């Protein structure tokens, strides 16, 4: 089970050497990189913003999660938009209209508002359900990390015995759905296993990442 207690630690995860996996800055300065997010789900809407400095005028802000790499973002939005929880919105692209005016910064789970944090797990599950093929593909293609550990073993609930059963089963025929994995390997609730792993990665203490991109501690870029 995922621990729903917020960590009191503000320990910053190590900065990734990979390219940024989200688009940041005003719409006119969009930079495309190899791990772009293209859409987000709204976690929380703050009509008065968060106040990035006492001398700055506050603007309406949303906190959201990317639907591809689970990036957590603070974004300035148009006052006239609709930002109900779990609304899916496109991120700024030159050719696409969006109520998101600017991505202020990448944030960590500790930067989320209480509402944002409480809605996070449900948002992640919605993304998993909508992108089932992507996660099933992981079980078909997952490879060893070292001589001693396989990436499948990083998923909570998968030990060495279950890992070998998955590897043997996919040799005969690739998995086609979560239910296919559950029936052929005799395990239950693959979605929950994937959800737990993603939540662990979002907590920021995992050395290896299967489904998310590492986050800077919220520093504005």
Q: What is the pTM of this model?
A: 0.78
In order along its 221 residues, the chain shows pLDDT tens digits of 444 445 444 443 343 333 333 333 333 233 333 457 899 999 999 998 865 444 456 799 999 999 999 999 999 999 888 899 999 999 987 447 899 999 999 999 999 999 999 999 999 999 999 999 999 999 999 999 999 999 999 999 999 999 999 999 999 999 999 999 999 998 989 999 999 999 999 997 788 999 998 765 333 33
Instruction: Report the DSSP beta bridge partners of residue 25.
Output: 103
Burial of 213 (0-12, 13-18, 19+ CB in 10 A): buried
Q: Do residues 75 and 64 make contact, with C-beta atoms less than 8 angstroms apart?
A: yes
* Amino acid 97: pLDDT: 83
CATH architecture classification, 25-120? Beta Barrel (2.40)
Q: Where along the chain do its domains lie?
A: 25-120, 132-203
In terms of Cα–Cα distance, which of 221, 216, 219 is closest to 12? 216
* Amino acid 156: pLDDT: 96
Instruction: Report the DSSP beta bridge partners of residue 40.
Output: 66, 89
* Amino acid 22: pLDDT: 33
In terms of Cα–Cα distance, which of 96, 43, 47, 118 is closest to 73? 43
Residue with tokens 């900065």: 15
CATH architecture classification, 132-203? Orthogonal Bundle (1.10)
Give residues with Cβ within 8 angstroms of 36, minimum separation 6.
21, 22, 23, 68, 91
């Amino acid at each position: 089970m995922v621990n729903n207690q917020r960590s009191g630690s503000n320990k910053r995860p190590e900065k990734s050497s990979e390219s940024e996996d989200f688009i940041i800055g005003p719409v006119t300065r969009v930079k495309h990189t190899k791990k772009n997010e293209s859409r987000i789900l709204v976690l929380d809407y703050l009509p008065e913003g968060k106040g990035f400095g006492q001398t700055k005028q506050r603007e309406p802000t949303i906190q959201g999660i990317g639907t591809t790499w689970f990036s957590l973002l603070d974004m300035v939005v148009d006052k006239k938009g609709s930002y109900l929880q779990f609304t899916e919105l496109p991120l700024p692209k030159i050719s696409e209209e969006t109520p998101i005016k600017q991505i202020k910064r990448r944030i960590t789970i500790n930067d989320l508002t209480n509402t944002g944090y409480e809605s996070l797990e449900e948002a992640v599950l919605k993304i998993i359900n909508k992108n089932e093929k992507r996660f099933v593909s992981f079980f078909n293609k997952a490879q060893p990390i070292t001589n001693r550990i396989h990436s499948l073993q990083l998923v909570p609930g998968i030990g060495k015995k279950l890992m070998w059963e998955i590897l043997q089963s996919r040799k005969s025929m690739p998995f086609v759905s979560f239910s296919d994995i559950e029936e052929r390997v005799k395990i239950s609730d693959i979605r929950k296993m994937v959800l737990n792993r993603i939540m662990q990665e979002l907590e920021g203490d995992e050395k290896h990442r299967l489904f998310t991109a590492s986050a800077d501690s919220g520093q504005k870029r």
